[in-house]
Amino acid sequence: MKARRPAHSSDAPALRSGLVVASHGRHCLVETPEGQRVRCHPRGKKLQAVVGDRVQWLPTQDEGTIEHIEPRRNLLYRSDELRSKSFAANLDQVLILVAAEPEFSEQQLARALIAAEAAGIAARIALNKQDLADPFAAAWQRLAPYRAMGYPVHALSLKSAAAETLPALTDTLQGRATLVLGPSGAGKSSLINRLVPGAQAQTGEISQALQSGRHTTTSTTWYWLDADRRSALIDSPGFQEFGLHHIEPTTLATLMPDLAAHLGQCRFYNCTHLHEPGCGVSAAVGQAAPAGIHPNRYRIYRELFEELSQPRFAGTR
């Protein structure tokens, strides 16, 4: 008869805990509580860890296997018709960085905010390049509806040596895990290099460990802001293709706070707010802030509603 191994056999390798700090394909970099970083593969096809995941892993020779992903507080998705992709978990907030120049796409901004709302994650916006006075004033004005609907908006000047605008933002990062999103050229690298000691060296080490290209930022990366590892910035590329196909068109309005404020006022309980009579949402379009809905926001709603109503390609999900 075969002897049964006791549940806590001393020679069985013990599970260790860790935090996923980068991922590339199916490889992850897992950080131990002591701060050591180990390359890990998930055990089995179903287990897909993302940056921010707390995991249990087992050491193999010089690497490890992820055995278990701890329950997530939240999970941020972006998706297109072809695939649904989650890319960060257990976030405290999302910071969307845009700039006076290049002019930002309001629809992209709206998409990121909707994805954050759908995941139940708080969001704030930062507008960089305050030194470019005229375009900054115009961009600040474009963000007025977002301030009115309750998103904090920070003015930034990342280029200026004094960086007097930075402390107000960094206060909001303390003790939190903040995912930074933004179109290229907005100043994301400038922000990370300002706030993360040795960010560039870390990026090099991570891409080497994961064998992703040294100069390509293909993966989401977790950076600690402080030596005691309480505050983190998570850098994620790919703001441009922020698909929302994981969201039902009929829930879209509930994820846009300025529209959501009028949802009780429609004649039909299943109003799509596109063409129905007695629609409280369309009645508020063009009304004065803060209760009114800016025409640009309503246009974005209609565009996204139509996009999310398109049939998905068969057999891909």
What residues are paired with 244 via a beta bridge? Answer: 79
Cβ-proximal residues to 164 (8 Å cutoff; 6+ apart), any chain: 157
Interface residue list for ligand GDP (CB under 6 A): 128-129, 131-132, 157-159, 182, 184-190
Among Zn ion, ligand GDP, none, what does residue 279 contact (CB within 5–8 Å per kind)? Zn ion
Decide which of Zn ion, ligand GDP, none touches 182; Cβ closer than 5 to 8 Å per partner kind.
ligand GDP
Contact 110, 181 (CB under 8 A): no
Query: Partners of 39 in the beta sheet?
Result: 29
Give me the least distance between CB of 165 and ligand GDP, in Å please. 8
The smaller minimum CB distance to ligand GDP, of residues 197 and 290, is found at: 197
Locus of tokens 């930022």: 217
Q: Which does 158 bind (CB under 5 to 8 A by kind): ligand GDP, Zn ion, none?
A: ligand GDP
Please identify, using beta-carbon distances, which residue of 95 and 271 lies nearer to Zn ion.
271
Residue bearing tokens 């039902």: 248
Distance of closest approach, residue 88 Cβ to ligand GDP, in angstroms: 18
Measured from the CB of residue 153, what is the shortest distance to ligand GDP in angstroms? 15
Q: How far is the CB of 181 from Zn ion (least distance, A)?
A: 30
With CB under 5 to 8 Å by kind, the binding choice for 165 among Zn ion, ligand GDP, none is none
List, in sequence order, every beta strand (DSSP E) within the chain.
16-24, 27-31, 37-42, 54-59, 64-69, 75-79, 84-89, 93-99, 122-128, 153-155, 177-181, 221-224, 232-235
> What is the smallest separation between the CB atom of 57 and ligand GDP, expressed in angstroms?
32
